[in-house]
Amino acid sequence: MSADDLSLEKHRLLLEARARDLARPQDTITPRELLYHVVLLKLDENTIGLPIDYVREIVRPPPITPLFGMPLWFSGVICLHAQILSVIDLGLWLGIGSRSPRNALAVLCGPDGDIGALVDNCIGFRPVHADEIVPAAGHVESSPLPSTLAITRDLCTIINVPKLVGDPRLRFGTHSQTTPAAGDQS
Amino acid sequence: MSHGRDADPALLAVYQAEVLELLDSLGATFEQLRAEESAGRAELLRAAMRIAHTIKGSSRITGFDTIVELAHAMEDTLKSFDEIAAAEQLERITLLFEAIRVTGDVVEGKCGADEASAMAARLKSRFSEPANESARKAPPSLGPGPPGVNSSITGENSSELEKQSRAQAEAPPLGSKWARVDLRRLDHLMNAVHELVLSHQMVGSIDREFLFAAESLFAQAKIADPADHKPDLEASARLLERRRSAAEPLFSLSEQVLSAAQKLRMVPLHSLLPQWKRTVGEAAHALSKRIELHSDIGELELDRHVLECLKDPIMHLIRNAVDHGIESSSERIQRGKQPTAIVQIRARIAGTTATIDVSDDGRGLDIDRIRAQAVRQGLLEPEQAASMQANELSSCLFHPGFSTAQRVSTLSGRGMGLDVVREAVRELGGRVEVKHPPALGGATFSIEVPVDIALVRGLLVSSGNVKFVLPVEHIRRVLRVPAEQLHWIGNTCYANDELGQPLTIQPLWPSLPIPNAKGRLLTVVWMTHGRKPLGLWVDELFEEHFFLTHAPPWNLRRVSGIGAFVVLDDGRPAAVIDVSTLFDRTTLKPSHEPIHIREIPRILVVDDSLSVRTLVRTTLQSAGYEVIAKADGREAWQALSESSFSLVVSDVRMPQMDGLELVRRIRSSETLKNLPVILLTSLDKPEDISAGAKSGANEYIVKGRFDQSRLLEAVARFV
């Protein structure tokens, strides 16, 4: 067999393989189910994912004015695009501490308005598929982090932003806010 | 028959603009109706009837009765439109176009009101009789018409109809003097302008620091080697000066843009007048009373949001006056009063505050009944109630659930309302009170609100290293109180004012403890709210000026003490204190020991350089001094003749009158000769210093070697 014959044989096999692929019934193809597109954020050693549908923007934190009598996780208020925005420390809110400097602010959309969440850094974006989620729902329920939507196998915690922003503790001055989650800043 | 030309001119202008727009929409609808074969005709007819109905409603409120008549005839003409033959439809449309023209002419004053009546009569005579049965087509599938026109209207169709009508009316006609703008666009513009002004403020702040640093650098370079010619430095200095000159108009322009944008939000108060008239008319009719509404509100304009929020409170006060305040005609006659009662709305403006008084000439407040009810409801102890004056007792009326009404009507008397009025007014940063004596002999309720909630004149203060803004309208003066002269009863701290009256002193935030270390001088801002005084302890005082306010974020709107936010030059927000909530926290305690109160030293800063003036002023204000800044000796001399100062800090080389001449004048004045003067100048030659000393200056500081602490040390020596 000559080199040309070999080459021809090789081509034939290749074309046969392609034909088999194309001829395969559709139902044998199992596409991955895309659950979320998330913004990846660092909070100390933790990786947090925020579904991008609920993240308006990520900016370097502007100067923050603290307010008296607020819980520790409430960092204060900022002015962003001529609007006053409340800012929380996401690490303190989630109960994972505040050991590293907060260099980024994620603006989260809520039903009543936006809120800023301080994080260490934004490290990128990624799609999250169903097969990447830790299957046992109990993991999410028993997660030490409140407002957890899901946890991926590589330990990225996806946050349930509507639940977080809708948390009654964030609404100050109402009867539901008589006992702040953390300490008092005063 | 009432004629709308007698209406308020501003209201007339609004009415004209609205009706002309509606007529344009109606004309366009008729055009479509003429062209449309079958599909969409029903919708077009409903839209046309709706527009005619809207014109009728607006004309009724404004008093254009003949237009009401004509619009009604137009509605009737349209009513059975689809039931008639095509030829007659065309005839009707032709006449309806004529009716549009006549309406427009009457509204614009081009012809008399009689023409509208004549046109209405023509429409009625031509089309009021039932249409020829033979000419009728199949029953129409028009569906519902506007309310009051077709009783079979359904909510779904009605809203669709309104949507269409609105959509047509939203497009302003060409040549109109008015432009209808979507409020969201207006808010977007305001936000953009706010952001522009904030950015300018920040740039301006950085500019000032930079220019001062650069000027110091040039001065030092010259001092180091005056003989050395440095063309680069001089060119840079000229460039900086040009930049400063070029930037100044920008700040003024951005302020002008802001001011213009704010005016876009202003709405005349008299736009509420038709509603008030209707309310009085309807309520009076329901109660068989004879009441006239008098208004004296001039050209007062309020921010759109303020006006929206005031609508219901004012209406509530009017209804209260009609229902409870005003007697029946027979009772009035028995009391020797005119049978027709008066409800009066009077509005005026002082500075940035608008006052709206709602008065009536009725029976007035029954103070004894209020007193008894306050005791019955446990609001006051009997002895306390007995000793209270009418003005103090009337504040009980604003307590939730408080009512002295003996009957409950559909209008009022449930004890719900005045507290809601108070809350609504409070949310605007205002207040409501009962005025004594009343304007017309009955009762007068007075509402005070800021004209424009987007702007507040405030004093910037700091407390616990956080800056806040105190609205100036509530500040009476600033005091320095030695800590050892504070008095404590329980947790309440107080001092005596200069008249020996007790003044409660509290921190800006309840969790901040008032220091009582001996020798400490406390800065206290003496606030007032109505007649109540309150001393607010703060750490530092900064500048006072107009601030643009921003609404609190959605989750902080109910936080007690925060009325709004402003954004400072460094981009940091500062809360505007809601003064009314501070007063809710206070409890006044008596005291008999008068205390010594010291005022803040007032310093006159004179320098022709804006950057130096700003820096020196900021430095001194940060240290708690009150500062007045002037640009040259002549202005300073004028200021010295008008008010008193503790110290003058002046430059030497200035236009009009230099610093040395200023010092000489001060020393030769009988009243000012002992006033200390510090010369702050870049002239550092021995002969300059000597000239300064000869003129009578107390201290000579060279700007090139200027530092804050040296200036503050020098100032502290003299004041």
Contact B555 A113 (CB under 8 A): yes
pLDDT at B250: 81
Q: Is pLDDT at B657 greater than 80 in this prediction? A: yes
HEC readout, B54-85: HHHHHHHHHCCHHHHHHHHHHHHHHHCHHHCC
pLDDT at B472: 85
Contact B464 A170 (CB under 8 A): no
- pLDDT category at A136 given cuts 50, 70, 90 is low
Measure A88 CA to nearest chain B CA, in Å: 12
What chain B residue is nearest to A77 in terms of C-alpha separation?
B573
Could you tell me if B59 and B103 are in contact, meaning their C-beta atoms sit under 8 angstroms apart?
Answer: no
* Of B314, B219, B226, B300, residue with least CA distance to B267: B300
- Residues forming a β-bridge with B649: B605, B678
What chain B residue is nearest to A81 in terms of C-alpha separation?
B195
| Percentage of chain B modeled with pLDDT above 70 | 81
Between B513 and B47, where is the model more confident?
B47
Mean pLDDT of B494-512: 77
Structure tokens at B614: 């700003």
pLDDT at A126: 93
Contact A77 B553 (CB under 8 A): yes
Mean pLDDT of B660-687: 87
The contacts of residue B210 (CB under 8 Å, 6+ apart) are: none
Measure B510 CA to nearest chain A CA, in Å: 9
Mean pLDDT of B75-96: 81
- Residue-wise pLDDT for A37-53, tens only, equals 999 999 988 899 999 99
Q: What angle is formed at CA B606 by the lines to CA B636 and CA B613, rounded to 5 degrees?
A: 140
The one-letter code for the residue type at B84 is I
pLDDT at B5: 59
pLDDT at B168: 45
Structure tokens at B76: 């009737």
CB pairs under 8 A between A and B: 87
Q: Is pLDDT at A182 greater than 50 in this prediction? A: no
Contact B194 A171 (CB under 8 A): no
Q: For B255, how many CA atoms within 13 A lie in the half-sphere containing its CB?
A: 10
Q: Rounded distance, CA A80 to CA B174, Å?
A: 38
Mean pLDDT of B109-130: 80
Q: Is pLDDT at A11 greater than 90 in this prediction? A: no
Q: Is pLDDT at A54 greater than 90 in this prediction? A: yes
Give me chain B's average pLDDT, please. 77
- pLDDT category at B227 given cuts 50, 70, 90 is low
pLDDT at A119: 95
- Residue-wise pLDDT for B351-391, tens only, equals 667 899 999 998 888 888 888 888 887 778 888 788 887 77
Q: Is pLDDT at A14 greater than 90 in this prediction? A: no
DSSP B553: P
Q: Is pLDDT at B151 greater than 50 in this prediction? A: no
Give me chain A's average pLDDT, please. 81
Q: Is pLDDT at B195 greater than 50 in this prediction? A: yes
Mean pLDDT of B120-143: 54
What chain A residue is nearest to B560 in terms of C-alpha separation?
A173
The one-letter code for the residue type at B37 is E
Interface test with chain A among B547, B554, B572, by most A beta carbons within 10 Å: B554
Q: Is pLDDT at B519 greater than 80 in this prediction? A: no
Q: Inform me whether the C-beta atom of residue B552 falls under 8 Å from chain A C-beta atoms.
A: yes
Mean pLDDT of B116-134: 70
- pLDDT category at A57 given cuts 50, 70, 90 is very high
Q: List residues of chain A with CB under 8 Å from any CB of chain B.
A: 62-69, 77-79, 81-86, 110, 112-113, 115, 170-174, 184, 186
pLDDT at B611: 63
Kind and range of the H or E element at B109?
A: none
Per-range mean pLDDT, top range of A39-53, B137-151, B627-641: A39-53
Could you tell me if A96 and A84 are in contact, meaning their C-beta atoms sit under 8 angstroms apart?
Answer: no
- Residue-wise pLDDT for B306-344, tens only, equals 888 888 889 889 988 888 889 888 889 998 888 899 999
Between B401 and B291, where is the model more confident?
B291
The contacts of residue B62 (CB under 8 Å, 6+ apart) are: B4, B7, B11, B12, B15, B274
Q: Inform me whether the C-beta atom of residue B417 falls under 8 Å from chain A C-beta atoms.
A: no
Contact B553 A79 (CB under 8 A): no
pLDDT at B372: 86
Q: Is pLDDT at B454 greater than 80 in this prediction? A: no
Structure tokens at B714: 């020098």
Q: Is pLDDT at A177 greater than 60 in this prediction? A: no
Q: Is pLDDT at A125 greater than 60 in this prediction? A: yes
- DSSP 3-state of B444: strand
Per-range mean pLDDT, top range of A109-123, B63-77, B429-443: A109-123
Q: Is pLDDT at B204 greater than 70 in this prediction? A: yes
B83 C-beta neighbours (distance < 10 Å), count: 18
Q: Rounded distance, CA A42 to CA A122, Å?
A: 6
Structure tokens at A148: 């957890």
Q: What's the whole-model pTM score?
A: 0.51
Contact A186 B191 (CB under 8 A): no
Interface test with chain B among A70, A79, A114, A164, by most B beta carbons within 10 Å: A79
Q: Inform me whether the C-beta atom of residue B410 falls under 8 Å from chain A C-beta atoms.
A: no
Measure B419 CA to nearest chain A CA, in Å: 19
Q: Is pLDDT at B572 greater than 60 in this prediction? A: yes
Residue with tokens 């008065």: B359
In A52-172 the beta strands, taken as DSSP E runs, fall at 55-59, 74-80, 83-89, 104-109, 114-119, 121-129, 148-151, 156-159
The contacts of residue B323 (CB under 8 Å, 6+ apart) are: B283, B287, B409, B411, B412, B413
